[in-house]
Structure 1
Amino acid sequence: MEKKLEEKLLYDLEHHSFRKYTENFFKQYFATSETIGTSKRKRVVNAKIVNVYSTYKKRLLCRSFYIEEGFENKKFYRYIYEVKRQLAGLKKMITNRVYASTMGGVLILTGDWYRNYFSYTVGVNGNDELWEKNNVDSFIFYSNTKYKVVEHNCYKSFLDNSIHKYCAFEFTDYRIEELFRYLKKYDDHPKQIEMLAKMGLQHLIRNTTGLRFTKPMPQFLGIDKNDIEYLKYLKLPLNEFRKNLKWMRKHKITKIDDYEFYKNFYINGINPTDKVISYLKDQFETIKQNLYNATGRCSYYSINDVINLYIDYIKMGREIAMIMNSANKYPADLKKAHDELNKKIVVVKNKNKDKKILDNSRKYEKYIYFNDSFLICPCRHSGELIEESYVLNHCVKQYIDRVSRNETEIFFIRKKEEPNKPYVTLELKKKKIAQCYGKNDHIPNEHVKKFVKKWADKYKFKLECWGENYVRHIQ
């Protein structure tokens, strides 16, 4: 719609002397005596938005009236205000007393003070109403806990006698509350919007990005006629659909679940051949069985988890230029191969950090300590943290950056007869033992705790890792 025409229609909408309704007109929407009750405490007993349809300038017109009933100062009150006027096809509407709540939703201001309070921002028209211009997408009245929205009459007969009678609104999934939002788009591109609605492509009406409105029908979609069915079932944004159309045709995708399945491969540059799919299905069963053997119960693990694991494995392989022969591309144990490659690639990434970790560890070598059963020594490189985390199943590998920056130091407690096997991990931070845990973050046994206590006493470290009860217990 031309800007001048819209401005004229908005001006008419604000200043035209529309039919004035008496209180009796809205009588059917008033609260019943049962709803009102006998209590006169301050409260709202009834709040409704009533939409009344008609035509104006051969366009559908909706006038919304707000009814509120309640008690104030122990007296019953009733407010009836016209709060909104919308004309079909316009990008704006006019509202009165309507505002957006900071808590969400649309609220209505009541009382005569409203006119005086807002007169400095909005002019008063000839009807003594304060009308504001708002975008048609703003202040849509949905029924909520604050008030109920009712349709006083049906819009269809008025719409059928308007200039928008062929809008095909009934073919869409738009709600009645969104009618004027839809008609705004239809007014701009009537033939194209009607066609999209009748073809079942209403999702493209909601998101028109990618539509070529300057092209004739059906070329404005930018796809072949044979591909429209794919678009209808998948309901994808048009640009995304066109971008991935080649492989969607290849796999004959008509379901969104299938689309998401294959999309995961293609966006990561992996060709989902029959061999790849078959391999992943076999790995899915293997991983599920391994999890069951390890835990003794069925664990939730989906085929999508396996796909993500494989994609992550391939991406890591590319990072270190791994030769993708058959053995590397289809490892016999995908999860094991993924975990090993993950450790390897982290070590590669941490080369620069390792030098700093080693330099820092030399400051802590003076704290190396042992007895007949255990020994304790500082971490010397990131690979030790990764191995410690992997074997003991805890998060110490996440401390690589902190250790390299000398913000904290990690010590390893080993059994003397197994000095290279992870056993217990300890964090020393500013001469305080902040953490000391074994496998699965379990508190170590009494022998280890006594060993740590002696070490702490020797070097005057504060023991804070197990709480006061533990500390007192091992005194």
Structure 2
Amino acid sequence: MTEKDIKPIPNYIMDEIFKRDIKIHPWQESMVRYYAYLTIWKKELVKVTVAVTTQKKQWCCKQVAVHGVNSSKCFVKDMEYNYFGYGYRVGWFTEELQPYQKRFEDGKWYTADTKYYDPYAPLINRGVIAKIPEYRYSAYQHYSGRDIISYLRIYSRFPQTEYMLKNGLCAYAENITLLKKFAKDKKFCKWFIRHRKELALPYGNTYNITTIREAYKTDSPLKEVKHFLFRKKQFERETRFNPIRTLFPGWKLQTYFDYSNKQNITDNLYLDYLNACNYLGVDMSKKQNLLPADFYKWHDIRIRQYSEAKAIAAAKNKQELMQKFSEVAEKYLPLQHNKRSAFICVIARSPADLIREGEMLGHCVGRMDYDERFVQEKSLIFFVRTKEHPDRPLVTLEYSLKTYKVLQCYAEHNTQPNDDILHYVNKVWLPYANKTLKQIAA
């Protein structure tokens, strides 16, 4: 196809575009619409995109882009693609609908990159495809994507796309990675067709290639695989959970997810249990230790054993720990908050404060290594209380000095605080603490 092959819009095509446009956009001023029609030039299928506008009570239609199925480039006239989010712009100086000629508008055809000059346009005469023998069985009638030319190019390389369209899998018909796997793996092709009801989802809700591959490899339901991969991706963002991932590599992580859901525990709670077991030298290769039937029971046992072992080991360093703890608390004392709220947030001043808080609220803040994390300035422990009862334990939170985030926030017996407290912690105290911490760092 060359520039000389481009012919004017046939009258019957012009009439069809006019009928459709008036029906859909009855005399809408200024807005530019796009339509496309197919034709055959020198045995090559060509798609012509036309722009339509209505201005000064005048309806106008002009060719703006021409794409040949065998051509790597397209021809463009009087149209510009704007890289800054404005989309396509069409000039209408020749039609006397604008007072000046735009810089990209001179009535000449120019070659351009197809991917930039192919606006979405409803197709007027899809049946022309049947006139070309090599596309007659391409199942083009079932194609519902945005670019029939692109699809036919892919069909020429991968005839398997025909089966996908006929089975309602149009959303995957242009996925080159999938098509290559179809060509190499017949079992995968059969599996794909067998699961067509699950896969036949509208655009935007389809399964990605990773989900499909894992579902095929593990012979698992697609929804379960999709949920697992999403949960796994979120889980892997937190590097502190690396010890858990070491115990549950790959798809074994699903076992952990199922267990944590069944036991109704958080990742942080299991990590505390795991750290205690590792410190005590517990054999985690045994299932009864890795996934105890009653997690909360064994969590409390291991935490108590860990606390006792740590108490013995740390007896010699207690005085030094207390001194360092006090120094760190003094350094970050400005992060305390008692303004414009019914709640206050105070920093722990000693390891004894952690022990008292843990005993009063029934959680492990005073029995794990939170005091060491505090001294090493990895994370700080704060107590949320009411102004009315400033000495009565209410909620305990752990704050990361590295990520500026609240790592944990628990009320009595590791329960979630109420909405008022969570709002105070996340919307009032946390922004204040982050701002103050940056000032301290500066």
| Aligned partner (choices 79, 88, 97) of residue 69 of structure 2 | 88
- Aligned-partner residue type, residue 324 of structure 2: D
Q: 1:129 to 1:392 in 2, by over 3 A?
A: farther
Aligned to 2:173: 205
Alignment of 1:418-457 (within 5 A): 422=393
Matched, 1:164 2:135: yes
* Aligned residue in 1 for 2:349: 379
**What SS does the corresponding residue of 2:40 show, helix, strand or coil?**
strand
Indicate yes or no: 2:161 matched with 1:183: no
- 1:69 deviation in Å? 1.8
Q: Offset of 1:63 from its aligned partner?
A: 1.6
Find the aligned partners of 2:253 and 2:47 in 1 and give their Cα distance.
54
Indicate conservation of the 8 Å contact 1:60/1:162, yes or no. Answer: no
Gaps of 5+ in 2: 200-206, 233-247, 331-345, 386-390, 399-409, 412-416, 422-431, 434-442
Question: Separation in 2 of the partners of 1:46 and 1:180?
Answer: 26
The match for 2:283 among 320, 323, 340 is 323
Give the superposition deviation at 1:134.
2.2
1:390/1:269 CA distance change after superposition, 3 Å = farther
One-letter amino acid of the counterpart of residue 292, structure 2: P
> Is 2:143 the counterpart of 1:118?
no
State the shift of 1:163 in Å: 3.6
1:14-40 CA-to-partner distances (Å, cap 9, x unmatched) read: 2324135679856546769x966xxxx
1:108 to 86, 90, 94: 90
Matched to 1:92, the amino acid is K
- SS of corresponding position for 1:209: helix
SS at match of 1:206: coil
Look up the equivalent residue of 2:110 and give its one-letter code.
Answer: W
Assess, with a 3 A threshold, how the Cα gap between structure 1 residues 56 and 426 changes in structure 2: closer, same or farther: closer
Distance 1:57 1:315, change over 3 A: farther
- Is the Cα–Cα contact under 8 Å of residues 379 and 385 in structure 1 kept in the other structure? no
Per the alignment, residue 259 of structure 1 pairs with: 225
With over 3 angstroms needed to count, the CA separation of the structure-2 counterparts of 1:377 and 1:83, relative to structure 1, is: closer
Q: Is residue 221 of structure 1 aligned with residue 185 of structure 2?
A: yes
Determine if the alignment matches structure 1 residue 65 to structure 2 residue 50. yes
8 Å contact 2:75–2:109 — kept in the other structure? no
Work out the CA distance in 1 between the residues paired with 2:370 and 2:101.
61
Counterpart residue type for residue 102 of structure 1 = F
Residue 193 (structure 1) shift: 3.3
Structure 1 residues 16 and 340, CA gap change in structure 2 (3 angstroms): farther
Note closer, same or farther for the CA distance 1:402–1:138 as it changes in structure 2 (3 Å cut). Answer: farther
Q: How far is the alpha carbon of 1:68 from its aligned partner?
A: 1.4
One-letter identity of the residue aligned with 1:313: Y
Once residues 412 and 238 of structure 1 are traced to their aligned partners in structure 2, the CA distance between those partners, rounded to angstroms, is 46
C-alpha contact 1:58 1:162 (8 A) present in aligned 2: no
- Change in Cα spacing, 1:342 to 1:200, as seen in structure 2 (3 Å) is farther
Equivalent of residue 108 in structure 2, options 124, 129, 132: 129
Q: Is the 8 A contact 1:51 1:62 kept in 2?
A: yes
Q: Contact 1:48/1:150 (CA < 8 Å) preserved in 2? A: no
Over the residues paired in the alignment, what is the CA RMSD in angstroms?
5.9
Q: Residue 125 of structure 2 aligns to a residue in which SS?
A: coil
1:380-395 aligned at under 5 Å gives the runs: 380=350, 384=354, 391=361
| Structure 1 residues 93-115: Cα deviation after superposition (integer angstroms, max 9, x where no partner) | 22331424634644434435886
CA contact (8 A) 2:360 2:393 kept: no
Structure 1 contact 85–95 (Cα < 8 Å) conserved: yes
CA distance in 2, matches of 1:67, 1:16: 22
| 2:407 alignment counterpart | none
CA drift at 1:257: 2.3
The aligned amino acid for 2:252 is G
Does the 8 Å contact 1:89/1:185 carry over to 2?
no
Residue-by-residue CA offset, 1:176-211 (whole Å, 9 max, x unaligned): x32122112123x14343355446655543322265
- Contact 1:51–1:64 (Cα < 8 Å) also in 2: yes
Per-residue deviation, 1:66 = 1.4
> 8 Å contact 2:161–2:179 — kept in the other structure?
no
How much does 1:259 deviate? 3.5
Q: Percent identity?
A: 15
Matched residues in 2 for 1:270 and 1:409: separation?
A: 30
TM-score for both structures, normalised by structure 2? 0.54
Matched-pair contact (CA < 8 Å) for 2:383–2:393: no
- Larger Cα Rg: Structure 1 or Structure 2? 1
Shift in alpha-carbon separation, 1:190–1:256, aligned structure 2, 3 A: closer
TM-score (norm 1): 0.51
2:252 pairs with 232, 244, 269, which one? Answer: 269
Q: 2:347, 2:20 → 1: CA distance? A: 81
- Give the secondary-structure state (helix, strand or coil) at the position aligned to 1:185: helix
Q: 1:392 to 1:84 in 2, by over 3 A?
A: farther
Q: How far apart, CA to CA, are the structure 1 residues paired with 2:5 and 2:147?
A: 25
* CA distances 1:56-80 after superposition (whole Å, capped 9, x unpaired): 2223322222121224xxxx55543
Matched, 1:313 2:265: no
Q: Structure 1: which 5+ residue stretches go unaligned?
A: 1-8, 37-42, 143-148, 288-305, 366-375, 414-418, 428-437, 444-463, 466-475
2:65 partner letter: K
Cα deviation for residue 49 of structure 1 reads 2.1
| SS of aligned partner of 1:118 | coil
Give, as a single letter, the amino acid of the residue that structure 2 aligns with 1:328.
N
Contact 2:329-2:349 within 8 A present in 1 as well: no
- Secondary structure of 2:74's partner? strand
Task: Provide the rounded CA distance (Å) in 2 between the counterparts of 1:197 and 1:226.
Answer: 15
The answer for the alignment partner of 2:35 in structure 1 is: 50
* C-alpha separation in 2, matches of 1:339 and 1:160: 76
CA distance in 2, matches of 1:315, 1:160: 70
- Tell me how far 1:167 sits from its aligned partner: 1.7
User: 2:81 maps to what in 1?
Assistant: 99
**Alignment partner, residue 4 of structure 2:** 15
